[in-house]
Structure 1
């Protein structure tokens, strides 16, 4: 038996009647001006690109800028609002079986940019193509993370792609079968790996050739000057074209960051990155233009708790002391200077559905944290008269070096003497994989906008290169897969991480940009940083 569920995936997952869902689907697009706002005659948005655009293929494109372009040209079962919450894309109804293993999607009546209907078979062909080893897709792992039946053995080349758990029941009904329930399944359906491809297409369907690339998104490819610019125009065949205000999207390649900033000031670009170190002053001078936007990544110092790690680090109180001793506020304000936020937990603050624990170290000022760190270290038998000696490993980026030096500086007065080991990235990653380190810097980024994208890393069978294991933690995450409201379970998992300190969480990533205030609809709190031209509009001067 299947039951209707909300196609939005905010926590908790809400079940409601088909009539309520129909009302939601009848709402206009998000990119509508507020009362009193006056639209510009020129509805265009010009944005920065760091390099030439490669092939635009949902199965192959993996660079952030290319994936941004794909979201304009194609649309999957779900899309996102400005906060990152799931809203309907190509689906108009979503039903889930009682055991959580079968998902049925009723597709809306939609057409490709060439006028052909978008069908369930187009999704089946696209998803099979992603997991087929012949494709060599960078996103094959993503469909395995979605727990789609047979994805893993297909990727391993053990069985054919035709056995993937995705079926077209008819032209507008798609069925997906999972190997185990995934409460956040809907949150994973806006990724380009899940986009459909048109019939008789290899996926790139003309690569980046104007007039040949066929998509089902709100925009089509109009022009492409390799290494210079790419232009997209409103797709009249898009199912919700009547509610799309923006007419033209134009990406301009500018390798030099200072040159891009100069072009922004001249009015040639509407959105550009801020060069390193310039955000504080620009934010002071242009507070309505300089902004810090979240990136779904967290920076941490991972402790090696495996048999190869130092015996001292087996003590959770000592690990908490090391975490408490880091002066994160100063690391963010003095070293990073890019809008990042200090991290007292693993999950990025902007991730949808996060109910972060209250109290604990986050409620203390740094003096109190440092005092508690001294106390915990003394309890473990260490202090300035009997120092703890450890090695902190990092890879050769200048920023990593500065942060490592800061950490060493903060730990030294506590009686912790740290040697720094600077390695190239490949050696650093290999040693982490082999658990040949004591403390190692690490950054983890979420694949989708839900706390489990972070918390699963520390599962006993997760990435977890430090070797930490906790049965209660694993059980909480197992329960969360089936829970209608997993937020309290995720909160308990974060509390265990705070108590056990398998790593010292340092900061949550951000990016800083200059954005033309006339451009409205760009997300400011979406952890994934995804934007959609269909939600944008330009105000008159």
Structure 2
């Protein structure tokens, strides 16, 4: 989510999870039944019949935090979305459905949104969920004293006064969010925001119980005992090797939650995870390339195309990567088709821009964004060498050495080794790979402590802005050193003057993507992710999301397990 929107490559299941939004999942909720083995029909057995309602799965990375103000990665957003309801959440059709908000009204000018909250939602400590919980959470996320990355990123330019508050120029109490009474939330926007409803389903906008957060202070959200839930599930165990969620019996919609437990084990090696699946200890497994051909003919094999992109980030504060020709050489030297066919072998697609295919369409013609903008780069090793020689001449060097920040999972290391070999085809270039744990990668990205890194992003909401806004000058998720007044102006115009002019706004985003990739070579696109997986056929109605949490387990159930 996303991506979310998710920033660093740690390939989820088959690959580690990534920063952002990362999110990511199948872009069609209508296919979620098929992906989880459901026949898609409503039957009297939709509650699972006599089957034990326990889902057993793995993850390839630990949860860095369960504090919604501090979360930046797909692992955290997955389990925040499983345990906490915001104003809206994504349903099985991947569209926002009522959660804590029963409904809302929008003013004619699009600047004021009034949310009417249900009065029967409670926290797991018995406290009611009120509009004040949203006011506190949103103010906390944008308060510079909190140190949130996503709060300022998601709210600045959207919620009234958020940008000035994040900069320390305006008191946090001036944020455009108000509880007009316990169950009415009024939100004032800086400008009309076409995607705001879907934004409210994202993890940064989840409510927080102020008394509970302040009671636990620095220990809040670090273990199961210092967490609260108002959603379908609640944590009962949480350690570095896994965690356990149980159904929240006090959830306002508990009648529609069938699973009694979700057990998650951290397993970083695909072979180990496959063995757990084969011995029926887990119900889903992601497959790395060496297992895909073995299982492709299985009835339990699934491929999910996701609106999630991976690319090389290049730190322009590095002298070599500050050179445009060097960056363009890196864009063109990697054989991305061989990479997706051989290293991934899971249905992933070669990426040639910074917008996934089948994600957003032109508002009039309904043509796909990716199709309209075409392939912005292509693998061309001869051209790459020419650009590299020009770069070396401009830099006055014969040889160059670059660090490469990589992941510590099995598949991440295979991917990083492949990319290292490809990059070192540039004459005189040496690439030093550092394989580090997930949390360290998050920290080093934040500090821009890298030269190259294989990074990922999934959408935080369904709009082109989620992929393109992140590269504005000093953007909270930029972390490349890229700064362009012209690029900034295109994004600003799309989100200000053109906010209610959908065609012109879309054209701005098309132009911005060309500038980002084709002209300024900020990123080296690699691939659009797909996930090759095995699912037990008795797992039904797991929703697969295009943003926020990768999966929705609220409606999932087990049926037919022996």
Both proteins in one fold, TM over 0.5 = yes
Q: Distance in 2 between matches of 1:281 and 1:125?
A: 50
The question of 1:231 aligning with 2:251 is answered no
1:309-339: CA deviation from partner (whole Å, max 9, x where unpaired):
689846xxx9778745643211222334454
Give the structure 1 partner of residue 336 of structure 2.
328
Question: 2:202 matched to which residue of 1?
Answer: 191
- Give the deviation of 1:494 after TM superposition: 3.0
Q: Choose 1 or 2 for highest CA Rg.
A: 1
Work out whether 1:403 is the aligned partner of 2:412. no
- The structural deviation recorded for 1:378 is 8.1
1:211-360 aligned at under 5 Å gives the runs 214-221=228-235, 223-224=236-237, 226=239, 227=241, 229-238=243-252, 240-242=253-255, 244-255=256-267, 257=269, 258-274=271-287, 276-286=288-298, 288-289=300-301, 291-292=303-304, 294=306, 296-300=308-312, 302=314, 313=324, 323=331, 326-349=334-357, 351=359, 355-358=368-371
Structure 1 451/245 Cα, relative in aligned 2: closer, same or farther at 3 Å? same
How far off its partner does 1:168 sit?
0.8
Higher relative contact order (CA closer than 8 Å, sequence separation 6+)? 2
In structure 2, distance between residues paired with 1:289 and 1:395 = 33
Whether the 8 Å CA contact 2:178–2:187 is kept in 1: the answer is yes
1:104: how far off? 2.4
Work out the CA distance in 1 between the residues paired with 2:82 and 2:321: 50
Alignment of 1:131-210 (within 5 A): 131-133=142-144, 135-137=146-148, 139-145=150-156, 147-155=158-166, 159-198=170-209, 200-202=211-213
Q: What residue in structure 1 maps to residue 493 of structure 2? A: 478
TM score, norm. by length of structure 1: 0.72
Match of 1:10 in 2: none
Q: Secondary structure at the match of 2:524?
A: strand
Matched, 1:452 2:469: no
Q: Report what 2:56 is aligned to.
A: 46
* Segment of structure 1 superposing worse, 102-111 or 49-58: 49-58
Whole-angstrom CA distance in 2 between matches of 1:428 and 1:200? 29
- 3-state SS of paired residue (2:211): coil
1:90 CA displacement = 2.2
Contact kept in structure 2, 1:338 and 1:511, CA below 8 Å: yes
Aligned pair in 2 of structure 1 residues 156, 340: CA closer, same or farther (>3 Å)?
A: same
Q: How does 1:70-85 map to 2 (within 5 A)?
A: 70-82=80-92, 84-85=94-95
Task: Check whether the contact 2:141–2:204 (CA below 8 A) recurs between aligned residues.
Answer: yes
In structure 2, the gaps of 5 or more residues are 1-32, 363-367, 391-396, 407-412
The answer (yes or no) to whether the contact 2:140–2:146 under 8 Å persists in 1 is: yes
Aligned match of 1:521: 541
Question: Is there any run of 5+ residues in structure 1 with no aligned partner, and where?
Answer: 1-29, 383-387
Shift of 1:77: 1.2
From the superposition, tell whether residues 528 and 348 of structure 1 become closer, same or farther in structure 2 (CA, over 3 Å): farther
TM-score, with structure 2 as normaliser: 0.70
Distance in 2 (CA, whole Å) between partners of 1:427 and 1:196 is: 28
Q: Output the aligned Cα RMSD.
A: 4.7
